[in-house]
Amino acid sequence: MDLLAFLNLNELSLGMSKLSMYPLFDIAHYIVSLMALKEQPGAMAVARRSPFACWFSSMLFCFGGAVLSNLLLAEPPVAPLSNDGNVLLASIIWYLVFYCPQDLVYRSAALLPIRLVLSGMKEVTRTWKVLGGVAQAQKHYKDGILVMIAVGWAKGAGGGLISNFEQLARGVWKPETNELLNMSYPTKVTLMGAVLFSLQQCQYLPLQTHHLMFIYTVFLVVNKTSMMLSGSPSWLFSPVEGAAYRVLFAEQPTDLATAATPKAPRAPGRTPSSDTCAAPKQDGRAASESQNGSAASESDGEAPTESETRGEDQTPSGVGGSKKTD
């Protein structure tokens, strides 16, 4: 990493890698996560109706990654509760975010500059969680790179991946949508991180751990901040994804048809098949959302400015968009 050395960032990254997440960064993570929960439609009604269900759901938002990664590795999913300090901290913040008189805490934290700082700090915890998950998996499966990716991803984006069951605790059930069918930005970026850290830990990447931590963290924070400031989804790799999708997964026109009518509108011929599939799903989703009185959920604890990223961001639509530019 001559570049990093040149920029004299070696020591900075080494110092950063020794940062303790507890308590400051963890607090930021809890605040941002619980604000995202509070912003879910129907969440406040549950908070009034059953504080306990709200607390349980909040703990899944805050510790979902640890719960899921422990489940995957057959370690006790109840383990996060054994960390009294963190649970106490998360519970206090839960109380302040949901029940503070005048809603002071939520309103203060929702001010853009404060939210920006908190969201940035939350993104820092993501690096630590992904790396923690990868290392945890490596203890069980020394060379199991796929297991390392899966567990790192689960630990970093657990809240989103188990959102169906977190919602169930609040009495909401939306089977037609999940993070696998329709990945949100945090889920994608965490998967990317899990792949990078797994490759690095298996020494397929010519990088030291703290360098990768530094690069990935900076990428996360910059990306998140610019998304919040611009208010638009700026998932850098959309073009790459779209291209990969078109090459690997799109329906290929038959050779005969291409040969016979090379300029015929094959693309429209293709579109309906995928659109007709997608349309009823999305209708169903909209219908169920209005039934449940709740719109798209953000279970990974993200700012609402991202809730618009889904839908636009999903691969087939991305492809549809790029088709128009063909």
**CA-derived radius of gyration, the chain:** 21
**Single residue of 12, 48, 85, 321 touching a copy of itself by CB under 8 A:** 48
Nearest distance, CB of residue 272 and a copy of itself, angstroms? 12
Q: Is residue 290 within the footprint of a copy of itself (CB under 8 A)?
A: no
**Single residue of 10, 14, 110, 164 touching a copy of itself by CB under 8 A:** 164
d(CA 64, CA 52): 17
Site for a copy of itself in 189-218 (CB under 8 A): none
With CB under 8 A as the rule, give the number of residues binding a copy of itself: 74
Burial 155-171 (b: 16+ CB within 10 A, else e): bbbbbbbbbbebbebbe
Q: Is residue 269 within the footprint of a copy of itself (CB under 8 A)?
A: no
Nearest distance, CB of residue 183 and a copy of itself, angstroms? 7
Nearest distance, CB of residue 124 and a copy of itself, angstroms? 26
d(CA 184, CA 141): 28
Q: Per CB under 8 A, which region of 26-34, 114-122, 223-231, 271-279 contacts a copy of itself? A: 271-279
Q: Is residue 146 within the footprint of a copy of itself (CB under 8 A)?
A: yes
d(CA 294, CA 155): 26
Site for a copy of itself in 217-256 (CB under 8 A): 245, 248-252, 254-255
Q: Is residue 41 within the footprint of a copy of itself (CB under 8 A)?
A: no
Cβ-based nearer residue to a copy of itself, 72 or 157: 72
Name the DSSP letter for residue 103: G
Q: Per CB under 8 A, which region of 12-20, 42-50, 206-214, 224-232 contacts a copy of itself? A: 42-50
Instruction: Say whether the peptide bond before residue 23 is cis (omega within 30 degrees of 0).
Output: yes
d(CA 303, CA 39): 9
d(CA 71, CA 67): 6
Q: Is residue 260 within the footprint of a copy of itself (CB under 8 A)?
A: no
Q: Is residue 107 within the footprint of a copy of itself (CB under 8 A)?
A: no
- Give the list of residues 6+ apart from residue 131 with CB closer than 8 angstroms, or none: 152, 197, 209, 213
d(CA 158, CA 168): 15
Nearest distance, CB of residue 236 and a copy of itself, angstroms? 18
Sign of the alpha-carbon torsion through 169, 189, 325, 262:
negative
Q: Is residue 312 within the footprint of a copy of itself (CB under 8 A)?
A: no
| Of the candidates 304, 297, 307, 315, the residue with the CA atom closest to the CA atom of residue 61 | 297
Nearest distance, CB of residue 179 and a copy of itself, angstroms? 9
**Single residue of 18, 20, 52, 206 touching a copy of itself by CB under 8 A:** 52
Q: Is residue 47 within the footprint of a copy of itself (CB under 8 A)?
A: yes
**Token pair 């939350």: residue:** 122
Q: Is residue 169 within the footprint of a copy of itself (CB under 8 A)?
A: yes
Nearest distance, CB of residue 138 and a copy of itself, angstroms? 11
Nearest distance, CB of residue 32 and a copy of itself, angstroms? 22
Structure tokens at 223: 């990306």
Name the DSSP letter for residue 249: T
- Give the list of residues 6+ apart from residue 224 with CB closer than 8 angstroms, or none: 119, 120, 123
Nearest distance, CB of residue 171 and a copy of itself, angstroms? 5
Nearest distance, CB of residue 274 and a copy of itself, angstroms? 5
In contact, 118 and 103? CB cutoff 8 Å: no
**Single residue of 10, 39, 144, 295 touching a copy of itself by CB under 8 A:** 144
